[in-house]
């Protein structure tokens, strides 16, 4: 049985307080559809009407159950994908004037909204500079203007990688463009997005998660992210090597930790602030990240070839000159993408982190918690995507 925190207002869930094998409890129909549910907290002092953008996305999907648990009324601004979550739905588009609403609907929404959580974004590195700008910069500015028009607080979701913009840009260069993928463009758009939000005025809290991985206990996530794809390639023996320093940091944060942080900041009466939702100095090293994949593979009976971790400059100096003339273009592109991805995934210095400053999130901030969460994600990946091989 899970043990629930004694203080019902405490959103902190630790691995020991949640049991992934607990069956869903039909007597608690408003709990999130999640095998390891958080404790039901007391009703907050004032349930709010929250406008949520990006509700169908990875973060939005993780966030909705936590908002419902706090009895907030959620108005989800949906875009292309439908939503089946119990939230009130309003079709819109953050790139269009008035979020794509007519004047009357915009005013009505302003009058009804108590707070805004902006989790819509264009995250695919290959989606192109123009679309990233439209959504991540102009869209962010429009949502911030809406919050200012409504006179309500805004929680804007940015990325912890704004701290590494210059390094990512330097590591990307032409290679990124040739591979049709640009982490630098993404980070540039998120950086400019923060500026657009600030320019709109209003009461803004910026949260900056690092790479979002699955739930810290179950590994559940709506869609695999870059780190999942990396792990999948390791598990399928598709990577010739990992272009990174073995001691470099790989910063990620479980989706439930980001969701709990946002809900906690909302309950706290979001005020002008910035929060780095990241592992920081507690992030795993690249070596340890790969080791956990190998250990979980062994546990599942999957044979993973020994993997070398090669510093990117060694790849540039030795591997590229020796092999690039003889491998086909698709193989060159794959290597370029791997190097681009590694410029984001693996960091020489820790990212900033202020996770422990968010009320109720402290226990998620240790190395051990990070390793346990990564293990949960790898296990989930093996079960969901490599099930046949895992049981072979």
Ligand X SMILES: NC(=O)c1ccc[n+]([C@@H]2O[C@H](COP(=O)([O-])OP(=O)(O)OC[C@H]3O[C@@H](n4cnc5c(N)ncnc54)[C@H](OP(=O)(O)O)[C@@H]3O)[C@@H](O)[C@H]2O)c1
Residues of the shown chain interacting with ligand X in the complex, contacts defined by CB under 6 A: 53-60, 77-81, 93-95, 119-123, 135, 139, 157, 159, 190, 209, 211-212, 223, 225
Kindly tell me which of 157 and 266 has the beta carbon lying closer to ligand X.
157
Cβ(370)–Cβ(285) under 8 Å? no
d(CA 121, CA 119): 6
**Taking the complex as a whole, how short is the minimal distance between the CB of residue 45 and ligand X, in angstroms?**
28
Kindly tell me which of 148 and 344 has the beta carbon lying closer to ligand X.
344
Kindly tell me which of 158 and 244 has the beta carbon lying closer to ligand X.
158
Reference 34, options 213, 212, 217, 209; nearest CA is 217
Kindly tell me which of 228 and 302 has the beta carbon lying closer to ligand X.
228
Tokens of 6: 């004694």
Largest CA distance in the chain: 66
**Taking the complex as a whole, how short is the minimal distance between the CB of residue 29 and ligand X, in angstroms?**
25
Q: Taking CA 151 as the corner, what is the angle to CA 148 and CA 157, rounded to the nearest 5 degrees?
A: 55
**Taking the complex as a whole, how short is the minimal distance between the CB of residue 219 and ligand X, in angstroms?**
15
Four-residue CA torsion sign, 48, 54, 56, 62: negative
**Taking the complex as a whole, how short is the minimal distance between the CB of residue 93 and ligand X, in angstroms?**
4
Q: Which residue is nearest to ligand X (CB)?
A: 57
Cβ(90)–Cβ(128) under 8 Å? no
**Taking the complex as a whole, how short is the minimal distance between the CB of residue 160 and ligand X, in angstroms?**
7
**Taking the complex as a whole, how short is the minimal distance between the CB of residue 176 and ligand X, in angstroms?**
18
Cβ(352)–Cβ(251) under 8 Å? no
Coil vs helix vs strand at 154: strand
Kindly tell me which of 115 and 302 has the beta carbon lying closer to ligand X.
115
Kindly tell me which of 146 and 285 has the beta carbon lying closer to ligand X.
146
Kindly tell me which of 228 and 282 has the beta carbon lying closer to ligand X.
228
Kindly tell me which of 335 and 365 has the beta carbon lying closer to ligand X.
365
Tokens of 145: 């203007």
Give the strand pairing for 346-347 and 284-285. Answer: unpaired
DSSP string for residues in 95-116: TSGGGG--HHHHHHHHHH-SEE
Cβ(346)–Cβ(245) under 8 Å? yes
Kindly tell me which of 335 and 377 has the beta carbon lying closer to ligand X.
377
d(CA 302, CA 241): 18
- For 338-348, give one letter per residue: b (16+ CB within 10 A) or e: bbbbbbbbbbe
d(CA 331, CA 348): 26
**Taking the complex as a whole, how short is the minimal distance between the CB of residue 367 and ligand X, in angstroms?**
20
**Taking the complex as a whole, how short is the minimal distance between the CB of residue 140 and ligand X, in angstroms?**
8
**Taking the complex as a whole, how short is the minimal distance between the CB of residue 83 and ligand X, in angstroms?**
8
**Taking the complex as a whole, how short is the minimal distance between the CB of residue 223 and ligand X, in angstroms?**
6
Residue 179, H or E segment: none
d(CA 204, CA 40): 28
Kindly tell me which of 57 and 183 has the beta carbon lying closer to ligand X.
57
CA distances from 378 to 301, 367, 384, 386 (A): 14, 16, 10, 10
């Amino acid at each position: 049985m899970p043990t629930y925190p004694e203080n019902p207002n405490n959103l902190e869930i630790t691995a020991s307080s949640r049991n992934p094998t607990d069956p869903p409890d039909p007597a608690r129909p408003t709990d999130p559809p999640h095998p390891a549910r958080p404790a039901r907290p007391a009703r907050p002092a004032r349930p709010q009407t929250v406008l949520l953008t990006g509700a169908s996305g990875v973060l939005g999907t993780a966030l909705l159950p936590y908002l419902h648990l706090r009895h907030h009324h959620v108005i989800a601004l949906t875009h292309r994908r439908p939503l089946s979550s119990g939230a009130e739905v309003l079709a819109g588009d953050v790139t269009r004037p008035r979020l794509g609403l007519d004047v009357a609907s915009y005013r009505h929404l302003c009058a009804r909204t108590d707070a805004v959580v902006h989790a819509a974004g264009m995250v695919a590195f290959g989606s192109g500079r123009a679309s990233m700008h439209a959504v991540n910069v102009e869209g962010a500015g429009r949502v911030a203007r809406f919050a200012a028009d409504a006179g309500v607080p805004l929680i804007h979701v940015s990325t912890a990688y704004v701290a590494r913009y210059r390094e990512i840009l330097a590591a990307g260069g032409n290679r990124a463009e040739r591979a049709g993928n640009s982490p630098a463009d993404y980070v540039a758009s998120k950086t400019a997005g923060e500026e657009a939000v600030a320019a709109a005025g209003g009461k803004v809290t910026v949260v900056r998660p690092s790479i979002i991985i699955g739930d810290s206990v179950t590994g559940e996530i709506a869609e695999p992210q870059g780190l999942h794809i990396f792990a999948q390639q390791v598990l399928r023996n598709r990577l010739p090597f990992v272009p990174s320093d073995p001691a470099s940091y790989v910063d990620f944060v479980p989706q439930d930790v980001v969701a709990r942080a946002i809900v906690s900041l909302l309950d706290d009466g979001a005020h002008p602030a910035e929060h780095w939702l990241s592992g920081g100095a507690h992030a795993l090293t690249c070596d340890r990240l790969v080791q956990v994949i190998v250990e979980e593979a062994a546990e599942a009976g999957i044979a993973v070839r020994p993997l070398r971790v090669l510093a990117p400059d060694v790849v540039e100096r030795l591997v590229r000159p020796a092999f690039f003339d003889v491998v086909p273009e698709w193989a060159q592109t794959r290597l370029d993408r791997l190097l681009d991805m590694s410029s984001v995934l693996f960091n020489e210095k820790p990212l900033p982190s202020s996770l422990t400053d968010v009320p109720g999130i402290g226990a998620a901030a240790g190395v051990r918690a990070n390793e346990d969460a990564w293990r949960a994600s790898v296990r989930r990946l093996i079960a969901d995507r490599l099930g046949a091989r895992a049981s072979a």
